Amino acid sequence: MPEVVTIGETMILFSPTCTGSLQYVNYFQKQVGGAESNFAIGIVRLGHTAGWISKVGDDPFGKYLVSFIRGEGVDTSRVRVDNEAPTAVYFKEFHEMRNPKVYYYRAGSAASRMRPEDLDEDYMSKAKILHITGITPALSTSAKETVYKSIEIARKHNLTISFDPNIRKKLWSEEECRNTILDIAGKVDIIMPGIEEARFLLGEGSPEDYCRKFLGMGIKTVAMKMGKDGCVVAEKDIIQRVHGRVIDNIVDPVGAGDGFDAGFITGILNGWDIIECAKLANDVGAFVVTVNGDVEGLPTMEEVMEFRGERNVVDR
Amino acid sequence: MPEVVTIGETMILFSPTCTGSLQYVNYFQKQVGGAESNFAIGIVRLGHTAGWISKVGDDPFGKYLVSFIRGEGVDTSRVRVDNEAPTAVYFKEFHEMRNPKVYYYRAGSAASRMRPEDLDEDYMSKAKILHITGITPALSTSAKETVYKSIEIARKHNLTISFDPNIRKKLWSEEECRNTILDIAGKVDIIMPGIEEARFLLGEGSPEDYCRKFLGMGIKTVAMKMGKDGCVVAEKDIIQRVHGRVIDNIVDPVGAGDGFDAGFITGILNGWDIIECAKLANDVGAFVVTVNGDVEGLPTMEEVMEFRGERNVVDR
Amino acid sequence: MPEVVTIGETMILFSPTCTGSLQYVNYFQKQVGGAESNFAIGIVRLGHTAGWISKVGDDPFGKYLVSFIRGEGVDTSRVRVDNEAPTAVYFKEFHEMRNPKVYYYRAGSAASRMRPEDLDEDYMSKAKILHITGITPALSTSAKETVYKSIEIARKHNLTISFDPNIRKKLWSEEECRNTILDIAGKVDIIMPGIEEARFLLGEGSPEDYCRKFLGMGIKTVAMKMGKDGCVVAEKDIIQRVHGRVIDNIVDPVGAGDGFDAGFITGILNGWDIIECAKLANDVGAFVVTVNGDVEGLPTMEEVMEFRGERNVVDR
Amino acid sequence: MPEVVTIGETMILFSPTCTGSLQYVNYFQKQVGGAESNFAIGIVRLGHTAGWISKVGDDPFGKYLVSFIRGEGVDTSRVRVDNEAPTAVYFKEFHEMRNPKVYYYRAGSAASRMRPEDLDEDYMSKAKILHITGITPALSTSAKETVYKSIEIARKHNLTISFDPNIRKKLWSEEECRNTILDIAGKVDIIMPGIEEARFLLGEGSPEDYCRKFLGMGIKTVAMKMGKDGCVVAEKDIIQRVHGRVIDNIVDPVGAGDGFDAGFITGILNGWDIIECAKLANDVGAFVVTVNGDVEGLPTMEEVMEFRGERNVVDR
Amino acid sequence: MPEVVTIGETMILFSPTCTGSLQYVNYFQKQVGGAESNFAIGIVRLGHTAGWISKVGDDPFGKYLVSFIRGEGVDTSRVRVDNEAPTAVYFKEFHEMRNPKVYYYRAGSAASRMRPEDLDEDYMSKAKILHITGITPALSTSAKETVYKSIEIARKHNLTISFDPNIRKKLWSEEECRNTILDIAGKVDIIMPGIEEARFLLGEGSPEDYCRKFLGMGIKTVAMKMGKDGCVVAEKDIIQRVHGRVIDNIVDPVGAGDGFDAGFITGILNGWDIIECAKLANDVGAFVVTVNGDVEGLPTMEEVMEFRGERNVVDR
Amino acid sequence: MPEVVTIGETMILFSPTCTGSLQYVNYFQKQVGGAESNFAIGIVRLGHTAGWISKVGDDPFGKYLVSFIRGEGVDTSRVRVDNEAPTAVYFKEFHEMRNPKVYYYRAGSAASRMRPEDLDEDYMSKAKILHITGITPALSTSAKETVYKSIEIARKHNLTISFDPNIRKKLWSEEECRNTILDIAGKVDIIMPGIEEARFLLGEGSPEDYCRKFLGMGIKTVAMKMGKDGCVVAEKDIIQRVHGRVIDNIVDPVGAGDGFDAGFITGILNGWDIIECAKLANDVGAFVVTVNGDVEGLPTMEEVMEFRGERNVVDR
């Protein structure tokens, strides 16, 4: 039984073979992307066990998703197949002059049809950590209910709950988004928002203000991502900035946050203090952005150590 | 003002770079596919004018669609942009051991939001032919109403209405499909079904039976596609099989029916008898299946003539 | 615990992006190929469970192999990592004017370092069938000893042993090859050779002669592959030819034999008579050759059934 | 009738799939490039109408060119097909250690056969602006005469004439080039040279010197491009430098000048002062260099505005 | 010093990555093609020595051409570089419905500027065979003079002259073509025309008629190519048809004639009778058409022998 | 007879089409790489003659290697074909977060079977320079003996011996490596190590210390590579740092050292002083790293001069 369980939708990602408007891209590469499975793969690569709970369509894309994630060593025994809805797909668009954009084809997808009854309480009860994101409640009413049900199960069995707001304005109204995310935040142990997400949720303020507000909501641990400026972590008695190595050549920023989460939670599983957790989180995020794809760049602990150490030049 | 107008959804088509299950395809090529725009491009390439009426999303895929179809010389002045819904996409899967499959991501698409009010009666009234298919009424209630409204306009202004049932069981129930297609068939002048579609609509029977039934419904002209066996065409006093050249190496059968329709209607516009129309229809269909993509293989009249004539070997 | 266990080397396969001499091929696609893992994937896709026992290098190719095979649902819990030897690779060459060729880089590979101690008797003892091939004993002395040890374990625990000679003249001398293969043949329950392999092992003769000779060696069941002529199967009281559907367009013949084996053994696991086993074996082999790659074409039982049934033309 | 008309050759551009000498490039991507059509596409994308006058060969490359440019919304109704000469092609070569090189195959091309008689005075007379470049007079004597004829028509009908010297030393002798370009410059209203071109035409001097000299020749407006240093613009009472945002990662500098021209002339059409025109010109040029291809990066006004504004980070 | 010398233009060939009109092809592969260098490579691969005399531009394409041909073992010491003209390029177009087409960009190329003074009489005088084609005299007046000069040198030094008419109607008028080809034919020892070319040169007739006419012109040996029907060869006392193995799956027919020539002349160099020469010629042509590209499929003598022998099935 | 001869293994290099772990790379490009042939190609491109002595397998990869290197103008007349062992291959892995890695498949390769008897003393005796590296002695005992034999021949015939340690820890133990390299160093005239290699061989020290130690071993000239810091060169009376232009965008650092060697030795052949030799060496190394592949970026002397001079902006 895995140490970490997570719930969410994973999609087939079509990545353009060149930058610029998709209008002019001729070929796309099939990859796999989904915040929660990205996170689960990250956890496994860093040495722990993870289970991913989801639903996929009865189609070759659903088969590929599950094969890929199972291949990575994530437990997929609780992924269900829905015969009446497709596996979602999405497209990335990279442009030097603006942030990457994504185009979703996920409305009515198999994963959006997850229901509370799909959860296996016995399976979840044996884990140490439940990781959820703010994407799943945006997918559908039943998906939202599934998230709340998972929180209920986790609390009943004393799992630590970690939460990444992962705000997707394309999926719901700003108001519903803010209300739901804040409501869920009130029920979790660890929150790992981006600084812009904190601003959206809590209004203008400093990183330290946001940390204090989240702690004030009863959350025990805050790890707030600040892009190239690293992160700010906070617990009862401490609020601290932790810088990471700046990466000049960012190939694909998507997935960095999921890698950060996987690094941070791996530290928690290892019993580290939050500063150490943050350092690992920063490093994992750095690895992710240097490789095309959401998960292809996720490092092993050995790779992180090699990266931190001296480079051995005479070794070919 | 174009001689032919047609109404329907066009999607971005992602074509696999190899055969077999999409589970194992790494790269996909972006193309364009939609029965009605395929038909319109065919009409233009064969020397007439056509206008395509549709709706696309405010996204790079919608821009590409319209650019491509306008580039082909089809009038796209009546294509509208919908800011709230995406341009649809679909994937083809080729397998030696079974028919090609398609995976649609078109539910809730921009084109499914076409409404009767989107039709420009003045624009349509100047055409000679309205071409519709059985796909559009399957997209949504408003799309279905749009088709009926277009028939009403066409009849009012004495356009000839041509109709390809283009049955898509993935889009609606068999019963609703059969009832609607037959109802529309009762209002058109020319019907161009496949033999399997005739069987689905009319039950077991011979090609000649089907022709007689369609004529009995008040349709003036029937052109029934029979794959490698060519077609059967029928009018008041004539039912006749017309064979085409058999193509050994079929690269991509999708789009052949649309090419057939374009060939047949070009013959009608040229004032040809239905045997000549059928010959052109067969030849155009043959061209389409030898090239990957729905429209890339559509021939010019000059190419058809060259194909029919003797090959000139010493010409490099 | 899997119903079927198998032991062998799997390699990274580099497949050319065009036909002709590799001298002129610029790009190669990374795939996965190995007779025993091909077979195991086939078994899983047809609805049973399989475990693959092997060794891989501590390199990205070894990681990919295991991820891919685990992703396909094969149990890889008994695959070991060897820190001192690489994962093997090989290249395919397709040429219209001759049979495909392969170029191996497997001498001294991780898998060639498999030893009898690597086998987990407890794990194997719970299976119903042990499947081995004539490739593994050709890899090294320790690999050969591992095969013999696996036979010993299988016989001790009453597993049925199935054997595909899979003669690879590039790996050993003809004499050592013939002697070893025949020696192993004398210890197995089911043999599935190609007709050319039977000729190599037993000298000139008819298919029926070969079957009688194999039965005379104490083998209970013979399934001899005859390419486009299907196969000949034999048991105590029966020797019978079973024809399959002829495939015109063979894309990649490599892996067909492994698929045949998977089909035949699936029939055995289902308790079918050997004629039914042979029919499934033929069909699975047909699927494999129509798709590029060793395993990409392996069908599910559902796909086999669809292929056998009538094609449903009106279904897009 | 378009607001802007322009005359020139467009070629099929073959873009290498990697950097370095073309000797080692295996694959090339087909694109479209031509200073005047690049400009016309830029004008359309920024919200105005443009017509492109040219000649293409009766070949698939000519068909592609016209389809592509028509697809972009440029009026191509005055493009003629020449049955006796091919559409030109060219190849780009990118090398980190030197400026990009181009290899032309345009001698004797269809477009080089443009003649004064090909111009439709009525069509041109309804435009507001005629845009010409120094490439067209270098193509052939008849092409040069066509340019002079177009100037004559423009002056007769009070069109504003804008001129980009676009010096191509590969196409003619330095002396003929300098004399012709200066002669044409004496007949236009707006000139948009690069700083190096100004030096070639006018000898050593400061940007301000060049501006004064051009104004002294009777030109009303000067917009001189200075690469990463932005531009200098000048009119009767003003000579001013206008800086743009510096782009670190220049993917493909070719086409930047055409984009600059499109931005500047769009400002003119909008009635803006030349400082505002220059800002838009700089921004459009910046967009172009970040995307591979001459026209793929040309922005819409909406994209320029988004680029100038704050980036909205939480929007996926 | 090579046994065979040949003179002609070689071009960079851009081969489409899919079939159908080049209008829809996005990527092209760079290859090398030219009748005479194809022939020279064929000669070398079959075990003899050859020298190729030509001119290339001072550009990366010229460098690639020479590197490629020298790499194949052909002597390129007499290839000159022309600083003022480019290396020619051409594009192939494959279409199921018609013969392949080629689009040349060779007018004014470096090779068209070959002059009689470029020939090294000493170098040529040591060869046994001069091979020329009907393409070179069509390139330019100086190229034509070069061909005549080479014939003069060959006759002076008693070289056998072999000649492939290789009619290219795109390069000159039918009349000039016919007259020149027939004039050259009157000066050679061996002629290897296609049957269609014979018809073009000599009017309607049977293959035997054509042979007799060529022999009547003083030519000693005729080898007339008849596509899938093999060839007809003739000498003083013999006219005979020689059939080859029919190839079902022709990938690229271009270059087959050059391969045929190389096979035939190899037989001549080996001192074989013309029937044996014809068999080799047929087999070499068969190899060429099964591989994409003009020269990639040219076989070694060992490959021809393997193809003729029994296939060894058990050899992987 | 070439001025420079060199001995070593060249492999087929498979270069990934994207960065990151090879686990996720789908396509690889075939290239050619080997320290000594890289060097030889560099020498030829800079204007001198070179011969490469090696052994390849009787396979299409061996044919490609030899064709490619011969195509580049290197004399390959002394390359032998080994019928019993394959041509080696290797894979590159690029990762932003670490140095490139290589994965070799060269154990037991054809080149590792080079023997002293393979050397042609007469051929070597006519050269001016013998260039060897520390890779060849690591391949096998017979390869090591071949290197020592080549040194013996060179000294007998008064060739200058240049040596690049090129330490490959993957191929032998550190101790054997250090001892052998130092032993060979004692017999050569010019040594061109990297700074890290000097440290490995000689222990901690400054660049100047290393130079003095090498000079103290009897070596006449030292050129020590220091990556982006250029190099340090030393002779009897001089030790000097020579800086090169820093390259921001390093595409592929592999092969830079070989290019450096080619530049330095070209200077020696030209009779330049070692400062000039070092400048050329630095520039050649800079060219190599900006292009993907080991040899594709090697410049001609003309390109170096163009790079050093002013860039001519107005030249398209």
Residue showing tokens 């004629």: C275
Distance CA C233, CA C208 (A): 9
Reference A270, options A47, A20, A38, A62; nearest CA is: A47
Which pLDDT value is given to residue E316? 41
CB contacts of E66 in chain F (<8 Å) are 71
- E119: helix, strand or coil: coil
Is the predicted pLDDT of residue D310 greater than 70, yes or no?
no
For residue C99, name the pLDDT band (cuts at 50, 70, 90): confident
pLDDT higher than 80, residue B74: yes
Q: Which long-range contacts (CB under 8 A, 24 or more apart) does F140-145 make?
A: F140/F112, F140/F113, F140/F114, F142/F112, F142/F113, F142/F114, F142/F115, F142/F116, F143/F9, F143/F111, F143/F112, F143/F113, F143/F114, F144/F180, F145/F115, F145/F116
CB contact under 8 A, D296 and A167: no
B77 inside 8 A of chain A by CB: no
| Cα D312–Cα D314–Cα D316 angle in degrees, nearest 5 | 105
Give the pLDDT confidence score for residue F200 in this predicted structure.
97
What is the radius of gyration, based on Cα positions, of chain C?
19
B225 bridge partner residues:
B194, B231
| Average confidence (pLDDT) over D155-177 | 96
CB burial of F223-249 (b: ≥16 within 10 Å; e: otherwise) equals: bbbbbeebbbbbbeeebeebebeebee
What percentage of chain D has pLDDT greater than the value 90? 89
What is d(CA B156, CA E177) in angstroms, rounded to the nearest whole number? 62
Residues B50 and B43: beta-carbon distance below 8 Å:
yes
Considering Cα of A135, then A48, then C66, then A253, what sign does the dihedral take?
positive
**Cα–Cα distance between F303 and E7 in angstroms, integer?**
31
Predicted local confidence at residue D254, as pLDDT: 86
pLDDT band at D101 (very low <50, low <70, confident <90, very high): very high
Q: What is d(CA A52, CA F122) in angstroms, rounded to the nearest whole number?
A: 70
Count other Cβ atoms within 10 Å, centred on residue D14: 25
Chain length of chain D:
316
Q: Note whether E29 contacts D26, CB cutoff 8 Å.
A: yes
| CB-CB under 8 Å, E296 with C24 | yes
The residue in chain E having the minimum alpha-carbon distance to the alpha carbon of residue B310 is E98
Residue-wise pLDDT tens digits, D159-168: 999 999 999 9
Place of tokens 């630590």: A160
The answer to whether residue A164 scores a pLDDT higher than 70 is yes
pLDDT tens digits, one per residue of B203-235:
999 999 999 999 999 999 999 999 989 999 999
N-terminal to C-terminal alpha carbon distance within chain E: 40
Which residue does chain C place closest to D25, by CA atoms? C26
Burial of residue A178 (CB within 10 Å: 0-12, 13-18, 19+) is: middle
Quick: pLDDT tens for B240-256. 999 988 887 788 888 99
CA proximity to A5, closest of A55, A49, A69: A49
Q: A311 and F24 in contact by Cβ < 8 A? A: no
Question: D98: which chain F residues are within 8 Å (Cβ-Cβ)?
Answer: 303, 306-307, 311
In this predicted structure, the answer to whether residue A311 has a pLDDT above a threshold of 50 is no
Check residue F194 and report its DSSP letter: B
Q: Could you report the per-residue pLDDT of A252-278, keeping only the tens digit for each?
A: 888 999 999 999 999 999 999 999 999
Q: What is the pLDDT of residues C275-305, one digit of tens each?
A: 999 999 999 999 999 888 899 999 999 999 9
H/E segment holding residue F270? none
| pLDDT for D245 | 84
Decide if C73 touches A, using CB distance below 8 A.
Answer: yes
Residue of D118, D189, D252, D258 marked catalytic? D258
Q: Which chain D residue's Cα is nearest to C26?
A: D26
Q: Does E63 touch chain F (CB under 8 A)?
A: no
Q: Where are the beta strands (DSSP E) in F212-309?
A: 221-225, 231-235, 238-242
| Spatial distance between the Cα atoms of B223 and B237, rounded to a whole number of angstroms | 14
CB-based contact F134:F169 (threshold 8 Å): no
Distance from CA of D134 to the nearest CA of B (A): 28
The alpha carbon of residue E147 is apart from the nearest alpha carbon of chain A, in Å, by 46
Give residue D311's pLDDT: 41
Which domains can be identified in chain B, with CATH numbers? Answer: 4-8+35-55+120-308 (3.40.1190.20)
Which residues of chain E are within 8 Å of residue B307 when distances are taken between CB atoms? 97-98
Three-state helix/strand/coil letters over E237-252 = CEEEEECCCCCCCCCC
Collapsed DSSP state (helix, strand, coil) of residue F73: coil
Which residues are registered as beta bridge partners of E30? E14
Nearest CB to C292; choose among B18, B97, B200: B18
CA distance F18 to C218: 54
**Cβ contact F313–D24 (<8 Å):** no
- Which A residues, 274 through 293, put their C-beta within 8 Å of a C-beta on chain E? none
Q: Which of A304-313, D262-271, E231-240 is the least confident region? A: A304-313
Burial class for F128, CB neighbours closer than 10 Å (0-12, 13-18, 19+): middle
The predicted pLDDT at position F132 comes to: 98
Q: Which pLDDT score, from 0 to 100, does residue A239 have?
A: 96
Q: Which residues of B touch A59 (CB under 8 A)?
A: 22, 103
Question: Which residue in the block uniquely carries the two structure tokens 């345009």?
Answer: D106
Position E143 scores a pLDDT of 98
Q: Which of F7, F50, F32 is nearest to F266 (CA)?
A: F50
Q: Does A253 touch chain C (CB under 8 A)?
A: no
Amino acid, single-letter form, for residue A302: E
Longest dimension (CA), chain C: 57
When pLDDT is averaged across residues D27-41 and rounded to a whole number, the result is 97
How far apart (Å, rounded) are the C-alpha atoms in residues A244 and A226? 10
> For the segment B12-69, what is each residue's pLDDT rounded down to a tens digit?
999 999 999 999 999 999 999 999 999 999 999 999 999 999 999 999 999 999 999 9
Between A195-202 and A207-216, two packed helices, what is the crossing angle to 10 degrees? 60
D292 contacts A97? CB cut-off 8 A: no
Residue C98 has pLDDT above 90, yes or no: no
The 8-class DSSP code of residue F47 comes to T
Chain F residue nearest residue B27, CA to CA: F26
- The contacts of residue E85 (CB under 8 Å, 6+ apart) are E57, E108, E109, E110, E112, E113
- pLDDT tens digits for range F108-131: 999 999 999 999 999 999 999 999
> How many beta-carbon contacts under 8 Å exist across A and F?
56
CA distance F4 to F41: 11
- Interface membership of A26 toward E (CB under 8 Å): yes
Residues of A serving a catalytic function are: 258
Q: What letters, b where the CB count within 10 A reaches 16 and e where it falls short, cover F166-202?
A: bbbeebbeeeebbebbeebbebbbbbbbbbbbbbbbb
Identify the closest residue of chain E to D26 by CA–CA distance: E30
Is E168 an interface residue toward B (CB < 8 Å)?
A: yes
Q: pLDDT at residue E310 above 70?
A: no
Can you tell me the distance from the alpha carbon of A226 to that of A257, in angstroms, rounded to the nearest whole number?
Answer: 10
For residue A315, pLDDT over 50 is answered with no
- Rounded to an integer, what distance in angstroms lies between the CA atom of residue D191 and that of residue D235? 11
Question: Which tokens in the block code for residue D220?
Answer: 């009303």
pLDDT exceeds cutoff 70 at D177: yes
More confidently predicted of A90 and B290: A90
- Once rounded to an integer, what is the mean pLDDT over residues A222-237? 95
For the segment C93-119, the average pLDDT, to the nearest whole number, is: 94
Tell me if A30 and B25 make a contact (CB, 8 A cut-off).
yes
Query: Residue D314's pLDDT is what?
Result: 40
Q: What is the pTM of this model?
A: 0.94
- Residues of chain F with pLDDT below 70 are 310-316
How far is the alpha carbon of C67 from chain E, nearest alpha carbon, in Å? 27
Handedness of CA A106, A110, A111, A115 (dihedral sign): positive
In this predicted structure, what is the pLDDT of residue F309? 82
For A72, which of C67, C69, C73 is closest by C-beta distance? Answer: C67
Q: How far apart are CA F58 and CA E303, in angstroms?
A: 13
Enzyme catalytic residues of E: 258
* Interface with D, mutate which of B70, B77, B302 (most D CBs under 10 A): B70
Strands F160-164 and F190-191: parallel
Residue F313, pLDDT score: 38
Tell me the three state secondary structure of residue C244: coil
Nearest in space to D107 (alpha carbons), one of C270, A262, E89: E89
β-bridge pairing D4-7 and D50-57: parallel
- Chain F environment of E69 (Cβ under 8 Å): 71
Measured between CB atoms, which of B290, B306, B316 is closest to E96? B290
Cβ neighbour number for residue B310 with a 10 Å cutoff: 6
Neighbours, chain E (3 or more CB pairs < 8 A): A, B, C, D, F
Given C258, C261, C283, C294, the catalytic residue? C258
Distance CA D241, CA D247 (A): 18
The helix (run of H) or strand (run of E) holding residue D32 is strand D27-33
Over the stretch D187-225, which tens digit does the pLDDT of each residue have? 999 999 999 999 999 999 999 999 999 999 999 999 999
State whether the Cα torsion E123-E126-E131-E132 is positive or negative: positive
Task: Tell me the C-alpha to C-alpha distance, in Å, between residue B219 and each of B6, B214, B215, B235, C57.
Answer: 19, 6, 5, 9, 70
Q: Where are the beta strands (DSSP E) in chain A?
A: 4-7, 11-16, 27-33, 50-57, 79-82, 89-95, 98-105, 129-133, 160-164, 190-191, 221-225, 231-235, 238-242
- Sequence-separated (6 or more) residues with CB below 8 Å from residue A14: A28, A29, A30, A31, A89, A90, A91, A92, B14, B28
The answer to whether A290 contacts F24, with C-beta atoms less than 8 Å apart, is: no
Axis-axis angle for helices B174-185, B141-156 (nearest 10): 10
Q: pLDDT tens-digit profile of D238-262?
A: 999 999 888 877 888 889 999 999 9
